[in-house]
Amino acid sequence: MKTLQNKCEINLDGSTGEGGGQILRSALSLSAITGRSFALKRIRAGRKRPGLMRQHLTCVQAVAKICGAKTSALQLSETELMFEPGRIQASHEHFKIGTAGSTTLLLQTLLPVLMQAPGNSCVQLYGGTHAIKAPCFEYIDEVFLPRLAQMNAQVQAGLDRVGFFPAGGGRLSLSVEPSILQACEWHDCPDKSALSAEALTTAEVPKSVAERELQKACKAFALTPEDVWIREITTAACPGNALLIRSEGSLSCAYGGRGKRAEQVAKDAIWDMQRYLNSPAPIDEHLADQLLLPLALAGGGGFTTLGLTPHFHSNVEVIEAFLEIKIQTEQLDRHAWKVTILG
């Protein structure tokens, strides 16, 4: 371990910024891509249960396998990591989190790496597909990946089985071709007037729950019956429920759970979407976090977003540590920030 630590080019502190897993995920992607080793201490120090949880451990193991990395000893709750990457290779692996940990966050960690591989990759990711504090699959597929496509990314994702908390049991498939990303700018506000809502529910959840959620969404946004629908999930490993509200350029998602009323689920999703609709920005704050690394790899670009999250600032810190990139932000008004990536 000492030999590996001495080789590390970059030293990071996982307690800075939001103190969560974003620092680890971005560092793994950038280390594999740049070939620069890193040491990370105080992993997820800002969380109630610090150190590597199952989904973070899987991220490390998956990236290490794809790029042939050497690492320090890996175990759950570990708070320090040393990572020395090798050469990136195309992958056709199955990566299993083993819990309801987020497959979409694992996807976002692997995707930039696989785009640098010398051949096509097709991987399957097992775990949670609809988890709190992580983008749901539909957000990745309908909001994030279309932006990457505009940057010349050759990527396809599929939802093979839904995985709700707490059992997980979901599966995503990800197909990636080698891609050279191109810089893009997103500043013009799209027409956000066309909205729709979808309630996801398993057979164990009364249909009336989904109906009440959709009724609240219809009232909040003046939706018609043609704008809303229910999707019954028949293969989930445990009961689950979610409400999705879609607009041009964004998607909000809120989850049901034991003791949580359908009206509160709807309120959460409505609040998130209303923030986006009230802003002149084309990029919501979650997408702003996710676009930083691809734009940095493209060497430039920018966008206008409705806000800057702690994840955003953590991403900036890690990106600027690995790449000769400067990320500038300027507040335009109460509901909009301009972000510029300079190569």
CA–CA distance, 313 with 310 (Å, rounded to integer): 5
Question: What are the tens digits of pLDDT across the range 246-267?
Answer: 999 999 999 999 899 999 999 9
Find all residues with CB under 8 Å of 315, minimum gap 6, and list them.
22, 26, 289, 292, 293
Residue matched to tokens 């970059």: 10
Q: Determine the distance from the C-alpha atom of residue 211 to the mean position of all C-alpha atoms in its chain, rounded to a whole number.
A: 28
DSSP secondary structure string for all residues of 25-37: HHHHHHHHHH---
CA–CA distance, 242 with 223 (Å, rounded to integer): 18
Residue matched to tokens 């793994």: 28
Sheet of 94-96, strand order: 94-96, 121-127, 170-176, 155-161
Find all residues with CB under 8 Å of 308, minimum gap 6, and list them.
285, 288, 329, 337, 339
pLDDT of residue 6: 61
**Dihedral sign computed on CA atoms, order 276, 55, 16, 322:** negative
As a residue count, the chain comes to 343
Residue 5 tokens, joined = 């630590």
pLDDT of residue 5: 54
Please choose, from the candidates 318, 288, 313, the residue with its C-alpha nearest in 3D space to the C-alpha of residue 301: 288
Q: Does residue 50 have a cis bond before it (omega within 30 degrees)?
A: no
CB 271: neighbour CB atoms within 10 A? Answer: 12
- Alpha helix (H) ranges present in the chain? 2-7, 22-34, 54-67, 103-114, 137-139, 145-150, 207-221, 262-277, 285-298, 310-322
311 as an active site residue: the answer is yes
pLDDT of residue 1: 46
Whether residue 260 contacts residue 242, with contact meaning beta carbons closer than 8 Å, is answered with no
CA–CA distance, 184 with 186 (Å, rounded to integer): 7
Q: Do β-strands 70-71 and 81-84 pair in parallel, antiparallel, or remain unpaired?
A: antiparallel
CA–CA distance, 68 with 189 (Å, rounded to integer): 43
CA–CA distance, 138 with 157 (Å, rounded to integer): 10
CA distances from 102 to 115, 138, 171, 186, 264 (A): 21, 13, 10, 28, 23
Instruction: Determine which one of 56, 130, 286, 311 is catalytic.
Output: 311
Residues of the chain scoring pLDDT < 50: 1
pLDDT of residue 20: 87
pLDDT of residue 7: 72
DSSP letter at 79 equals: -
